[in-house]
Structure formats: structure tokens, C-alpha cells
Amino acid sequence: MTLEEIDKRLQEIPAVLDQIRSEQNQLLGYKQALLDMEDEKIIKDEPKDNGKIKKEKMSA
Amino acid sequence: MPKFGSKSRERLDTCHPDLQTLFNAVIEEVDCSVTCGYRNKADQDKAFASGNSKAVYPKGKHNSRPSTAVDVYPYPVDFDDLPRFHYFGGWVLAKAEILRNVGEITHKIKWGGMWRGLDNGKIDFSYNRRRGVLDDLPHFELIPND
């Protein structure tokens, strides 16, 4: 790599990192909605104790 | 539990029932604000002129009645907080898939942060980056059923 090429790549990298961070946040949001659904399902499926639904959630 | 303000509610009411079902479910868990549902000609012309839309009336997804597109921001709105927009978009897409899987909505949803719709639940959040497509982070639209 020439110095010019290295500088060019170094300039590109912050934008690439931003894009990767965006993707990371999208995946985290997506994952959280799936985990929320699992939690809801667990609470709904838990046996009722004296007519009250247990509040504890199982860890993911 | 968060709930929509009157303006958001009014705008969401102009949207397709699937979008209403989706965002009525979203607001139960995440506070958000609907900034655009149906767009009439004057509003679409304005959006086009300002560069907020690439579509000429009546070709935009916001121009049908009911609207098949909606713009929603996580609330309180902070335009500089892009990570929150990305997180919100991913969250909404998963919620849409969940609702579709249980039959509460009938359409797949496409998001402006990932212009490719989910394909059998497979996500491709790098799509816009790989294709060099610009994000429209508040925008969600229905994918027509085959």
C-alpha cells in the first residue's frame, strides 16, 4: 500500500465504523423485541397461583 | 404505559389497518410519535420539493388511502440520537414479524433503515450500507402481498 492509499483507507474507516454501529443497534433492537416476546409468553404460560399471575420472569 | 398524542393518533388513523395494529402494539411498550400517515397532493408536492420524498404524487406510498406507509419517530424526538433510531427500527421490525406470525397483521413490513424486507425472517441490516442506499429511518411501509 502506498502512503496515499493508507491515508485514503484511514479516512474511510470512521464512516465504516458508524455503519457497523448502526447495524449493531438495529440488531440489538430486533433482539430485544424477540426477548420481550419470550418474556411475555413465559408470563402468560406460567400457572396461576391463587388467581394471580406470577410476576417473576425467567432470565433469557 | 405510553400512548399516542391526538395528532399522532389522527395520522395513524389514515394508515392501513396493519400499520395501525403494528404501531398500536408498539406504543404499548415504546413511546413514539407518528409524524406522517396519508399525504395529500399539496403535502406530497412539498415533501418532493424539499427532498423528503423521491416520489411524485400520487406515486408515493403515503399517497394511497389508506396510506401504506407511515413515518414514526421514537419519542422524545432527538434527531442526533441515531443509535436510538436504529434500535427502534430493529425493534419495530421484529414486532411486525411477531404480529404477522400470529396472524394479527397480514403484510410484511419494510423499514427505511433496511430497504429490503425480511425474507422468511432473515434479516439483512447491512443491506443499505452494501447497496449505498440512503436511510429513511422514520419510514415504515407495507410490502404488497403476492
pLDDT in tens, B46-102: 999 998 888 999 999 999 999 999 999 999 999 889 999 999 999 999 999 999 999
Among candidates A22, A23, A30 on the partner chain, residue whose Cβ is nearest the Cβ of B91: A30
**Peptide bond preceding B76 in cis form (omega within 30 of 0):** yes
- Kindly list the residues of chain B whose beta carbon comes within 8 Å of any beta carbon in chain A: 29, 82-84, 86-95, 98, 113-114, 123, 125-126, 129
pTM for this structure?
Answer: 0.84
Selected residue with higher pLDDT from A43 and A48: A43
Mode of pairing for the β-strands spanning B139-143 and B69-74: antiparallel
Residue corresponding to grid cell 419495530? B92
Give me the pLDDT at residue B71, please: 97
CB count within 10 Å of CB B89 equals 27
Q: Are B63 and B107 in contact (CB under 8 A)?
A: no
Q: Do the Cβ atoms of B62 and B69 come closer than 8 Å?
A: yes
Q: Which residues of A touch B114 (CB under 8 A)?
A: 26
Percent of chain B topping pLDDT 70: 97
pLDDT of residue A48: 56
pLDDT: which is higher, B131 or B4: B4
Inform me whether the pLDDT recorded for B12 exceeds 80.
Answer: yes
Determine which helix (DSSP H) or strand (DSSP E) holds A42, and give its type and residue range.
helix A3-45
pLDDT at B135: 86
Residues making up chain B, counted from first to last: 146
- What pLDDT was estimated at residue A52? 47
Tell me the average pLDDT of chain B: 92
Distances (CA, A) of B68 to A20, A51, B39: 30, 42, 11
Please state the length of chain A: 60
All cell numbers assigned to B101: 406470525
Q: What is the pLDDT of residue A49?
A: 53
Q: Which residue has the higher pLDDT, B122 or B25?
A: B25
Contact B82 A22 (CB under 8 A): yes
Q: What does the pLDDT average to over B109-122?
A: 80
Interface residues of chain A, partner chain B, Cβ below 8 Å: 19, 21-23, 25-34, 36-37
Distances (CA, A) of B26 to A26, A35, B72: 16, 15, 11
Task: Flag whether pLDDT at A60 surpasses 80.
Answer: no
Q: Do A25 and B90 touch (CB under 8 A)?
A: yes
Q: Where are the beta strands (DSSP E) in A1-60?
A: none
Find chain B residues with C-beta within 8 A of A25's C-beta: 83-84, 86-87, 90
Averaged pLDDT, A35-44? 82
- B139 has which bridge partners? B71
Q: How far is B113 from chain A (nearest CA, A)?
A: 9
